[in-house]
Amino acid sequence: MSSSGSLSDEDIPDLISRVGDSNIADEDRDFDDEDQYVDSLQPALDLFSKKTFKTAEECIEHCRDVHGIDLNILKKRHSMDTFSFIRFINYLRTELPSPGFVMSLSSDSKWEDPKFMKPVIEDDPLLMYNLDDECDMFDDDEENGFEIDISRELNDQIENPHRSKSTSEGDRTVLETRLNEQIEELKRELEEKQVELGQCREDMLKMRSAAQSLFSGMEETGGKPTGGVVSVSEHKTVEQDSSYFESYAHYSIHYDMLSDRVRTESYRDAMLKNTERLTGSKVLDIGCGTGILSMFAAASGAATVVGVDCSEIIYQAMDIIRENKLTEKVTLVKGRLEETPLPEEKFDFIISEWMGYFLLFEGMLDSVISARDKYLAPGGMVLPNRCTISLLAISDTQRYNSLVGFWENVYGYKMSCMRNPILEEASVEVVPSSSTASDPATVLSLDLNTCSVEDTQFTSPFSLQISRDCDMTGILGYFDTFFDLPTPVMFSTGPHTVPTHWKQTVFYLPNPIPVKKGQILDCKIVCMRMETDARALKVALTVDKAVYKYTVD
């Protein structure tokens, strides 16, 4: 790089062959040599995880199928040449943006900086991979796809006006024959694609039928699937679950949690106001993050505190423990709890902030239950020890119209097909208390000292007594958390209390339902885990015999 900061030709690594080189045939080279060359390349590292692949092609297919990142589409969208594609790959490896953010970019300004020409990974196979070469139907070297140079033929006719008419007609016949062959080949390919599309449609119908059967099966068995519930740790390996743990390596999420005073001060008060129970005890902190709960436990008189976390944030937490001179009491361990040996065999208290949206999203409760069964000493206690989920009706036509009705007129165009995806996904937001339209109904109560993983899937009938005349636009879900100690502490995530980072979970109705004050709605909820992602939830709500289905993911 020159002193001015610009790149000279010598600075640019020769990563991709020049135009035309790929078409030069070497008669002495055989396929075995090519295989040896591929095998000699280092593994291709995934752009959004630590997973590696033998070839760049496998890595690119993984990015497309798993992360939803199609490099072919992005290359065409941003008109990338060789060097802008190199900068793009190095930008992803340097800045580590989320897949959704990358696909939403409307310009290439993020990776225009020449600094991204420097490879992040030496001999990165992705930098040596040329996308879409095989997609050029009319390549110049193939003479317009028909192996006939049309321009040469036309020039020849101009220069030789007395050329034999039969010769030109013969060439035209050859050209037409080749063209017809191309058309027939395209027709065959189209027919094959139509067959594949039909098969995909059949598969989708089968999947939809299977999902409906699963919902029905849960209703018939009282919310307990006949095959049992597989815990997250059994459903996913650490590698498969890496994106979940990586999400907790970002500092912003810990800022959100620590600055949530309702959440953090409740845990602090539960321990500091019950020092007579914690003094001299052994405490296990599951998912310790920055170590704040471990430090509260130490301040409450615990003799030994062990914190466990699988996220990279654990290394910063270790520095925090040293900075606060608590290394004699607090020990932090990195790893998944179910697979990591701990320095103590039993603990008097297990404390964890495991709750997710709608309480059960993320499935971290599985690890708490596993630790309780393995590490909790006789007479010990899980903190918090009790949680409940409640539902109530809401009426907020302004919010409903801005979110759901928005698609009826988008700058003069109808986009009603977008309504269903919006409605099928539960919305996490802060709902003002003025929007509530019924009394709450508790649909789940968990005793953390005795519950099982199976209890995280449930069916519960409930009634909503309407509190005012209005148009009911949705059902709101929230949870309450309890520390039943000599000095009890609890907090709520409901709309009538100070908002928390969990907010509330709203299930919007396809169409508002007019209701009257005093009216009682007979309802039912079925909550289960998604088969494709054990951390996500599938929820079915029945309101006066009409069934609505949602995902929480």
User: Known catalytic residue: 176?
Assistant: no
- Residues pairing with 308 in the sheet: 286, 333
Among residues 353, 424, 425, 454, the one annotated as catalytic is: 353
Strand order of the β-sheet with 458-465 is 458-465, 520-529, 537-543, 546-552
d(CA 4, CA 240) in angstroms, rounded, equals 45
* Sign of the dihedral through C-alpha 358, 359, 364, 365: negative
Rounded to 5 degrees, φ, ψ at 521 are -100, 125
Ranges assigned E (strand) in 402-466: 427-429, 441-447, 458-465
Among residues 192, 219, 246, 362, the one annotated as catalytic is: 362
d(CA 223, CA 228) in angstroms, rounded, equals 10
Q: Is 536 exposed, middle or buried (0-12, 13-18, 19+ CB in 10 A)?
A: middle
What radius of gyration, in Å, describes the C-alpha atoms of the chain? 31
Structure token digits, residue 187: 């027709």
CA dihedral of 19, 22, 26, 30, whole degrees rounded to 10 = 170
- Residues pairing with 523 in the sheet: 462, 543
Q: Is 210 exposed, middle or buried (0-12, 13-18, 19+ CB in 10 A)?
A: exposed
User: Known catalytic residue: 192?
Assistant: no
Query: Mutual orientation of helices 292-299 and 261-272 as an angle, nearest 10°?
Result: 30
Listed in sequence order, the residues at least 6 apart from 434 whose beta carbon sits closer than 8 Å to its beta carbon are none
d(CA 443, CA 526) in angstroms, rounded, equals 10
| 330-334 and 304-309 strand pairing | parallel
d(CA 449, CA 460) in angstroms, rounded, equals 21
Q: How many CB atoms lie within 10 A of CB 279?
A: 11
d(CA 389, CA 373) in angstroms, rounded, equals 24
Closest CA to 295 of 333, 261, 322: 322
Catalytic residues, by residue number, are 353, 362
